[in-house]
Amino acid sequence: METLSPTHAEVAGRKIVGRVLFGMLVLIAALVGATAGLLLVYSTNLPQIEELQHYRPSTITELYDAKGRVVGSFALQRRVIASYDDYPPVLRDALVSIEDKDFYAHSGINFWRIAGAAYRDIASGGKVQGASTLTMQLARNLFLSPDRSFYRKIQEALLAIQMERRFTKPQIFTLYANQIFLGSGVYGFQAASEYYFSKPAAKLTIAEAALLAGLPKAPGYYSPILHPERALKRRNLVINAMLEDGKITAQQALEAKDRPLQLTLQHDPNSLAPYFIEEVRRYLEAKYGSSEVHEGGLRVYTSLDVDLQKAANRAVLDGLAAYERRHGWKGKLFNVIAEGIDPARYQDPDWEDTDPSPGTYLHALVTGFNADGAKLRLGTRTTTLTQADGAWTNRKLADILAVGDLVYVKLLSSDAGRTRVSLEQNSGAQGALVALDNDSGEIKALVGGRNFDESKFDRAIHALRQVGSSFKPYVYTAAIDQGASPEDTIVDLPVTFATSAGPYSPHNYDGKFEGSITLRRALAQSRNIPALKLAEKLTIHTVIEYTRRFGITSNIPEYLPVALGAAEITLMEQTSAFSAFPNDGVRVAPRYITRVTDYEGRVLEEDFPEVKDVISARTARIMTSMLREVVLHGTAAAAAKMPYAIAGKTGTTNDFTDAWFVGFSPSMTCGVWIGYDEKKTLGQKETGARAALPIWMNFMSVALAGKEKEVFQDLPADASLQAAEKLDTPDVAPGDGEAH
């Protein structure tokens, strides 16, 4: 048989095919090599995924009151760590349906989604379609920058693949759900649920879960607070996605989409006791460092009592309002129009609380007038201020208010969409209150001023103010401790003292003199001459030494008028000092914190009461009985009607610049101060009994509820006190007998 030789054309064709195949192999090898090289380059600086085994994101440091209720928090990122089971199926389904439908099936990258996104990007001529899976989003959030470069995308994909190999889907979901930013300074779905709905994620409804699941795409753009219309559309898109995936029924989807946006924004926990929280923050940062306090998730157990703090806030603000009304309308209102601000766009910081409770004091904007009075706006609320609501001004509202004015009001009620307010004013007067548990020294309530947002200066702890006659108990304590008796007499007549500054001729508040008077009555009526005579006999140096025993560290000059309160002391020092009287002469140092634990629950510190003997139990009980006389028949007689065992001392300074009352029961000591930051008068007759005592009474009525059976310790048998409750002394009007 004859063998046919290949033709020239066939040989040439085979050579071409061989060359093409060889070229393709070379190209493939080059591509594989290049790809491998690129992957090597891109993976060289990748973070170590192993770090996630011990990863814990920045978390909130929370502060608790004595009953375990949250009273404050510190955080750079407001995040609450939750487990996979803490996130309900409805939230998991909503998030997966809108962000990554194949989350439980893919291995970190969804190639079909990437191809689809690439096609849409090419068709549109830009980057409009995202292709990142939840795992890729997590990788970007944890390790990479937010820039949208090809280099970052490759790294994102590589990290996602590594994560999927090392962690389970529930672990990846949990990391993502705790890490993602969801607007308004909130990170993670647990914190978001608490912030937007004031409840844990486990209790989310379909509509609520869909709203949160729609936020990761663009938290600011879809913010339900700033852009409710966009948030509603995005929420309904998520609900439709859940329906398409079979996660909910058509009926459930219809009902969920019919629901309006109903936010219940979480109240700022720091707003309840801001001055107290600020003191705690300073202490913690000094001891543990700022990063640990704001990122470490500490648990701080404080001495505060939420109920008593609320009562203290209310008492101080109501007391200041009563003071303001006594002195008439002063006007001088801030007008937004005069400042070039559009009234329709104005937002006041007071309006950040979308659901203020009755009794809250806040600012309202005058928007117009009608036949009933002035129309006001308080955030999203509107109301009418009637003439009766401002009757105390004795002026017509149209004469004292103008459109654009910011007026200070008290929220009286807000029911069924109807809001009622009363007109108040803020002339700048300030108030402070401290309440201490006698046995433990724990600070149960603290108010450092009228408004923390306006002034962060803490007048309860840092303000040095003259204490007036509330200083006199130290003079009498020294006398009793050195052998005097409450029934000893002293002469209350005009006298001139020789001092280093020259002759000093003091007078009593009422300008009268009572002649021979017992020490008990002299203190109860706050007579000046007896206090000065005692101080001169004891020496003012001795009196000051006694104040040091009581824990007062403020500088006190050694001159005689100090006996009448010409010394500057803080409210905290004065209140803590007085707590030694009902405590049988033992002073327990004030304390804010009882325990601090780290994120894992390990105890970092535990504070125990710091106890110091100040005076003998005998002296303390005698002084308690004498200070009780101040309430029964003296300058604080207005408090005698209270059904509790109480005692204390009023204080007023020259020109009525400071008004004080520091008093106690067997279990609690409370101090109140009223005044202006600058040394100016509160007004004629604004004594401690008139300005400060009513605040003390309002607070203590709440603090002592249910403690009607409390009694002070029995008096010593040798103290000649049998007549303590039987003195034939007329009651005096509040303020009578006050010292300058």
Domain of 578: which CATH number?
Answer: 3.40.710.10
pLDDT in the model for residue 356: 85
* Domain co-membership, 163 together with 261: yes
| Count of domains observed in the chain | 3
Residue 40 lies in a domain: no
* Domain co-membership, 489 together with 409: no
Give the pLDDT confidence of 704-737 residue by residue, as tens digits. 999 999 999 988 766 544 433 333 333 333 333 4
Q: Which residues are catalytic?
A: 99, 469
* Domain co-membership, 696 together with 623: yes
* Domain co-membership, 464 together with 536: yes
Query: Can you give the CATH number for the domain in which 239 is found?
Result: 1.10.3810.10
* Domain co-membership, 375 together with 469: no
* Domain co-membership, 566 together with 529: yes
Give the pLDDT confidence of 275-326 residue by residue, as tens digits. 999 999 999 999 999 999 998 999 999 999 999 999 999 999 999 999 999 9
| Range 36-44 contact pairs with CB under 8 angstroms and sequence separation of 24 or more | 38/154, 39/154, 39/158, 42/151, 42/154, 42/155, 42/158, 43/155, 43/158
Residue 9 lies in a domain: no
Q: Which of 424, 458, 481 is the last residue of a domain?
A: 424
* Domain co-membership, 553 together with 646: yes
Residue 447 lies in a domain: yes
Q: Which of 252, 268, 284 is the last residue of a domain?
A: 268
Residue 411 lies in a domain: yes
* Residue 123 pLDDT grade (very low, low, confident, very high; cuts 50, 70, 90): low
Question: Counting every residue, how long is the chain?
Answer: 740
Residue 378 lies in a domain: yes
* Domain co-membership, 659 together with 532: yes
| Residue 63, beta-bridge partner list | 72, 300
Q: Tokens at residue 411, please?
A: 């929220």
* Domain co-membership, 502 together with 397: no
Checking DSSP bridges between strand 603-606 and strand 593-597, what pairing results, if any?
A: antiparallel
Checking DSSP bridges between strand 61-64 and strand 70-74, what pairing results, if any?
A: antiparallel
Q: Tokens at residue 734, please?
A: 């509040």
> What's the mean pLDDT in 564-580?
97
Hey, what amino acid is at 560? L
Chain position carrying tokens 């007579």 = 527
* Residue 563 pLDDT grade (very low, low, confident, very high; cuts 50, 70, 90): very high
* Residue 600 pLDDT grade (very low, low, confident, very high; cuts 50, 70, 90): confident
CA nearest neighbour of 130 among 213, 215, 217:
217
Q: Which of 383, 402, 424 is the last residue of a domain?
A: 424
* Domain co-membership, 547 together with 665: yes
Give the pLDDT confidence of 234-286 residue by residue, as tens digits. 999 999 999 999 999 999 999 999 999 988 888 777 889 999 999 999 999 99
For residue 426, report the phi and psi dihedrals to the nearest 5 degrees. -125, 100
Residue 273 lies in a domain: no
* Domain co-membership, 252 together with 344: no
Query: How many whole angstroms separate alpha carbon 403 and alpha carbon 62?
Result: 42
Q: Tokens at residue 213, please?
A: 């699941």
Give the pLDDT confidence of 388-411 residue by residue, as tens digits. 999 999 999 999 999 999 999 999
Query: How many whole angstroms separate alpha carbon 581 and alpha carbon 476?
Result: 12
* Domain co-membership, 483 together with 389: no
Query: Can you give the CATH number for the domain in which 378 is found?
Result: 2.40.50.140
* Residue 554 pLDDT grade (very low, low, confident, very high; cuts 50, 70, 90): very high
Whether the per-residue pLDDT at 536 is higher than 60: the answer is yes
Query: How many whole angstroms separate alpha carbon 181 and alpha carbon 222?
Result: 12
Q: Tokens at residue 5, please?
A: 């030789």
Residue 688 DSSP symbol? I
Give the pLDDT confidence of 25-83 residue by residue, as tens digits. 666 665 555 444 444 444 445 556 666 666 677 788 999 999 999 999 998 888 888 99
Chain position carrying tokens 């004595």 = 66
Residue 698, domain extent: 430-595+606-703
Residue 692 DSSP symbol? I
Whether the per-residue pLDDT at 569 is higher than 90: the answer is yes
What percent of the chain clears pLDDT 70, i.e. is strictly above it? Answer: 85
More confident residue, 708 or 739: 708
